[in-house]
Every structure is written in C-alpha cells, then in structure tokens.
Amino acid sequence: MITQMTKLLSTLILAMLTLSACTSIPTQLQGDYPEISPARVEPAVYGSNVRWGGVIIDTRNEENRTCFEVLSRDLSKYMRPEVDDRTSGRFLACKPGFYDPEVFAKGREVTLTGSIETVEEHPIDDFNYRYPVLEVSQLVLWEKRKDIIVYDNYDPFYSPYFWGRGHPYYRYPYFGHPYYGRSGFPGRTHVYTRQTIPGPANISVRKR
C-alpha cells in the first residue's frame, strides 16, 4: 500500500511541477504581432515582425548563422506549438551564431519572433517550394513533452463521511489497497498515460 501511495504522490507532484513550468508566456515571446500566416507571405509584408512556431525539420549551420527549416503549427495561449496536423506551411528562420543540430534536432518544437526578410525557393523532391525567410530576434526551444503514468484508484463505495477515520476497513491493510480501494470494498485502479507540457529549454549558443 505504502509503495503504491508513494508512487501516486510522486506522480502527481511531477505532473504539477512540469505543468506549472508552462503557465505563462515566456518574456521574450510576449507582445502583439500581426496575424500573418507563413502561407501568405508576399512582398507587401516584407519587414513585418511576426511570431511563428512549429516543429524543426532541419537545422543547417552556415558561415555566420544557423538556419532552421520549420513546419509551422498554430500556437497555444502560452505560445507553444500545438500538437496537431494543421499547418500553414514551412518557413526558414535564420539567426546569428552556432546552434547545435543535435540539440535543435528534427522534431523539436520552437517558437520564434523576427522580421520577414524575403521568400526563397528550394526544392522538396521535384517541387520548388516557396519558403518565407525570417530573420530571428528571439528564439525559444521547448523542452520535450513527457508521458507520465497516472494511477487513479476508483472506489464506488468510498465516502469519508460514511466510514469515518475510525472504521477498521478505512485503515491499513485495506485503505488504498489496489483491489479493495479506500472503503474496504472491492475497487479498481485505473492506470493511464498523461502528457506533460514542460516550459522552455535552457540552451547556450556559441557566437562566431
């Protein structure tokens, strides 16, 4: 019983801590930005400051900067990319300095702010794709999402007002037992997986 309760308590604490890490918009991403989609960039909006996010497809280091190829995603209220298949297309985001491709790896989530510089064409297989190019001013790399196992003991007969703390079935060895539940009657333990949403990652960047 003690082992099970300890496991449940530690799981709940971990979930609260990780979820609390993403309860506000990171300072560097705050502000108001125009609703310009990566799919609808034309010369008329060059120079506009935007806030875009998505999933890294590729990271390429050039002589004085690093360019990220990003598959765009809608942003949550905390400015983290949403997990779904909706996208406004791909874009390139370039920033001075060396960003290690092993850290900024394919599949990692990023949110960036910066100005739209131009549109470049690059091939995807046999198709010439138009990439909006963003000159990045701020970049947030998000910690990887994590799955935690949650143990939820379901006991249809449990009521602290009915049993009271002095009832013999309320105490060990029946209290919290995976079969008997908290009331002392047969119960069920539901085990399911829940995804946590950690906040920004701590990164260091090497300037050249």
In the numeric block, the tokens 């009915």 are attached to 162
What's the pLDDT at 60? 97
Q: Give residue-wise pLDDT tens across range 39-94.
A: 999 999 999 999 999 999 999 999 999 999 999 999 999 999 999 889 999 999 99
pLDDT at 170: 45
Can you give the pLDDT at residue 147?
Answer: 73
Among the listed residues 54, 133, 55, 62, the one whose alpha carbon sits nearest the alpha carbon of residue 98: 62
pLDDT bucket at 205, cuts 50 / 70 / 90: low
pTM of the model: 0.68
Q: Who contacts 175 (Cβ-Cβ below 8 Å, separation ≥6)?
A: 1, 169, 182, 184
Predicted pLDDT at 164 = 47
Q: What would the two tokens of residue 38 be?
A: 């990566």
What is the rounded end-to-end Cα distance, in angstroms, of the chain?
A: 57
Please say if the pLDDT value at position 101 is more than 90. Answer: yes
Quote the tokens at residue 203: 């990164």
Confidence at residue 32, expressed as pLDDT on a 0 to 100 scale: 95
Q: What is the CA radius of gyration of the chain?
A: 24
pLDDT given at position 145 = 84
For residue 101, give both structure tokens: 């491709």
- Rounded to 5 degrees, what angle do the CA atoms 90, 94, 100 make? 100
Q: How confident is the model at residue 114 (pLDDT cuts 50, 70, 90)?
A: very high
pLDDT for residue 146: 80
Residue ranges matching CATH 2.40.50.140 in the chain: 28-142
Structure confidence by residue, pLDDT tens digits, 135-193: 999 999 999 888 777 666 655 554 554 444 445 444 444 444 444 454 445 555 666 66
pLDDT tens-digit profile of 3-52? 555 555 555 555 554 444 455 899 999 999 999 999 999 999 999 999 99
| Structure tokens, 137 | 């001013």
What local confidence, expressed as pLDDT, does residue 78 receive? 93
CA–CA separation, 65 vs 20, rounded Å?
33
Q: Does domain 28-142 have CATH number 3.30.499.10?
A: no
